[in-house]
Structure 1
Amino acid sequence: MTTGRLIAQRYRLEERLGAGGMGVVWRATDLELRRTVALKRSHTGDAGQIRREARIGAGLTDAHVVTVYDVVMDGDERWLVMEYLPSRSLDELLAAGGPLPPEQVRRIGADLAGALAAMHAADITHRDIKPANTLVGEDGTAKLSDLGIARWSEATVTGGAQAAGTAGYLAPEVANGHEATPAADVFSLGATLYAAATGRSPWGSGEAGPYAQLRRAAAYDLEPLTGELAPVLGALMAKRADRRPTARQAIDLLTGVAPAPPHKRQWRLAVSIGAAVVVVLLAAGLLTTFFRQAPQKSADLLGDPRTADPCALLVPNSLARFGKVALEPNYGNFNHCDLVVDTTGKGDIVDVALELRLPDEYPAEPSTPGKLGQVQADPPTENRCKRTIPLPNLYRVVIFARQVNNKPAELCGAAEAVALAAYGKLAQGPIPRRTSFEADSTASVDACRLLTGAAVKTAIGRAAPAEPDYGNWTCYWQNATRQVTIEFGREWPLEDDPPDGARISVGGRLAFMDTSEDGECDVTVVHRRYTPIVASEKGTPRERDETVTITLEDKNITDGTGLCPDVTAMAQVAVSRLPR
């Protein structure tokens, strides 16, 4: 994109003003009205994001919100036409001159609070108040910009920082996956003013990355509040949303019309409570136990791998901006849980799955034992995008988004939103435990014990040690050319929707045998039909099948048909060892 380009046969691009998380902004000349305007186009060409911002901006007429004039099409690109304000962002002011004096912080804060009051009166939540979205004019007037992720209140359902703002300025409840509300905007206003007064976010400088800030936000680990602005900032950034002033009340606090409540040094209260706990524990003779157990709880977020609940790390609202979201807790292996998103309301599905996994033998990025790692991004493919969170014991939380109907979708945006929401959950402490499984479930079975050494030796030609995967719900045996895999799963009733392959019987149980051109044969046996304790989304089958799949692969052949007798024999052995 170059200077001089004509947009919609009317707006001539003059100067690239900058780029943010949502788009790039240009100064342009309106050749028809002969005025200077600002033009914005989404980074990704997301016309929906530009359209949303235009509709929200058109409904606001406040002196401290950048005015939206129009939205125009230029070929396949949609551009937002806005008021041009000769200004610098608060980010740029701080980078150039450092922290601002208290009176200037108050003036900027009052202007922003007025903008928020107008937005909240119109039932709109901004959701991304920060220095980069605060424009300060030559006369000192401040205006809010970038309504790209704002929402009317009836549609405001969020979770995960990618969908609900910027990590350094998030309210603690949003960092923990809850809905962004007007009270969260007020917190972000306070965080922005804290940065104006100190030069850094209340969740730290950000040098360790946004996920470190997200973790601090989720734990409400604020930087110290000092100086004459501490009472006002303390009120705006109160931990509990219902303790914060409204945006209208914030104007009075910042202009001095209303006195700010005394700033409470919460750390002193915490020390006092902690001292009292120590006294009680000393009296009870439990101090050694208390200090021995506390570090273990903070260091081990996984606990028993077989009881850790992967669904507990999913926040359905984190994907609300992508479409209608449903939790699917009864599909795949027992380390697996899904969020299913209908992106159009017409069955165009994106599946975002979360799995708990073993440590990576060859990690792309090193992790630090004993410390929750940063969210790691794999290069996206055409139909999949993946995020990984290393746990303190080096086990992993893996999130991957995929297209189900091959329709265009923001797969990496969805994976990132779910990963950030999961990270916020992990920052609160250990993964919650799942509801116990029924006695005849394969969840209580060790997959490695279902096959005998003799059966495996017959299939791969020699004895081989069992290699268990996460939770012992999958197991492998291999030599240089062949591999046997046994894996548990949960499916919709297979009898109603049979998979590919031949229908057979193994040990009196329904089974399906299939081959591939990759030198593979597999047999899937239905272990039992059951009704889940935790129901799935309405409209899906109420019952589920627990399955056991035995696979034999040979990398030196293409037709797997000749492998099927050995696979069937192994399936017979495995079925004989399943619980009745």
Structure 2
Amino acid sequence: MGRLIAQRYRLEQRLGSGGMGVVWRATDEELRRTVALKRSHTADAEQIRREARVGARLTHPKVVTVHDVVVDGDDCWLVMEYVPSRSLDEVLGTDGPLTPAQVRRVGADLTDVLAAMHANGIVHRDIKPSNVLIAEDGTAMLSDLGIARWTEATVTGGAYHAGTPGYLAPEVAKGEEAGSAADVFSLGATLYAASTGDSPWGDGERGPFAQTRRAASYDLEPLAPAGELAEALGAFMREEPEQRPAAVRARQLISGDQPGEIDDQVTTGDGGRAGGGPRPAWWRRWRWSVPIVAAVAVAGLVAAVLMTGVLSRSPAAKAEPPGSLGDPRTADPCALLDPASLSRFGSVAMEPDYGNFNHCDVVVTPTDKSGAVDVALELQSPDEYPAQPPVRGRISQVQADPPEENRCQRTITLPNLYRVVIFARNVQEKPAPLCGAAEAVALATYGRLEQGPIPRRKPFAAGSTGDVDACATLSGPDVKAGLGAAATAEPDYGRWTCYWEHGDKQITVTFGREWPLEDDPPDGTRVNLDGHAGYVSTSKNDGHVDECDVTVVHRRYTPDPPTQRGTPRQREETVTVSLEAGGTNAGQSLCPTATTLARTVVRHLPAG
């Protein structure tokens, strides 16, 4: 049985994840119905609550229904309607552009939704093919209210905070706030893509910044490829917001209900009625054996990638193309970080020996009175359920994830679907230009990726955990003793982290680098494991221990090149063994088991 959330919702299957959280199919044991649960990412709880408030205010048959928001321990969960569906983005990628009749049907459904949203003072702000879901009965639905807002709210931030580059309205690309007219433009851009297969701002091969520049200068692709829909879509995508039709009029134009002059009834933010009716037979070919929750835009595209050995290299291989990762364990994340890209924000210092081996930091000390910023770059495994399907074989657009409190993130997908993730964090409790710093590094990193394959790092020192496979540190019997049952190892990037999971229990082994722990001991109890200093700590949920972490010092070393001024001269390689268990009966019994597992892991490490 899966984990029980808020003593009511039983998790059954992880369906996907995106910028706004992780989504599960679950059973409501109180009402005996299937629901979808979205768990917030770290520090996203307020964003989840805001999405719940927007969803509660909007009741419409073509918007995923929000039932509730619940708190379970440190996690915030959004409880939603479960709808088997597939994203329009995936439909286009699999089946190609839609026919004019199909586009009209999708457009009629979505303009119904916009009319209802705008009548309630709600602006979606991120309409795009991956947020359009086609249910099993053919209904087009709008998902992801994660950055939707009420029109009376005040939200700061540029275009990247309110939409996706390929579907931005010109005024949003220039930094203005997204209003109801911007939703109409983004819908027109989405329908243009549904009709032609491409964004009206180009195919994005040169990156999202090129698309944003085209949007800001209104360099629109020709409308002729949209055929009989060109006139209606041209009205949706007029340059001036006040010249675009309101949602009700937009429905008439796209559906052909009331043919007439397009100049009538420009955008006023008025409401509309819900449309609908029987669906024609062509919708029936869009039925699938594996349902996907409507809150998730994309299904597991990467599973096949992980099975095909995308990292294999032939000795006789030709020169690798731009952005090639090569062997994940030898790719150098620090080689992609350009400190000069942050020089306008203040003095810059590189910190290459902290965190996991796939991680590199730059610390910016501002010249003004704003707070210091830590900008980190990580190489990460493919996203199992990406928010937008990446294109194998080329460097993706830079994805601007929704900003969080004290964190702003950018993501670049590599040709083999692995990712470069850049995030900026506050070092001090002061205002800091987090998104400006993250975007500056993303631009510079994108340029370096286009120049060729990712450079190789220097070989690890003798005895380093950098050369160890975390999954090989525990045997089958060890895992069975820890979980109570056998489990398969699931490695993360570079095999420096490994997971074993069974039921509501999970073991994690992670290698990392820290400042000397003895100088600033972490919370918890100090232990000695075969001559290695260790620290045992627990976390609690509803007053009950549900996780025990054992962090052990493997070896101390002096970095080369030397560390930045003001930081310790030496670093420590550590291994952390975590044992998690759901429910309320785990108690302190987790720590003896976790300590035994940590002792076993240490015995598998090389002499430091």
Q: With structure 2 as the length reference, what TM-score do the two structures score?
A: 0.47
Higher relative contact order (CA 8 A, sep 6+): 2
Name whichever structure is richer in helix by fraction.
Answer: 1
Q: Which has the larger radius of gyration?
A: 1
Q: With structure 1 as the length reference, what TM-score do the two structures score?
A: 0.50
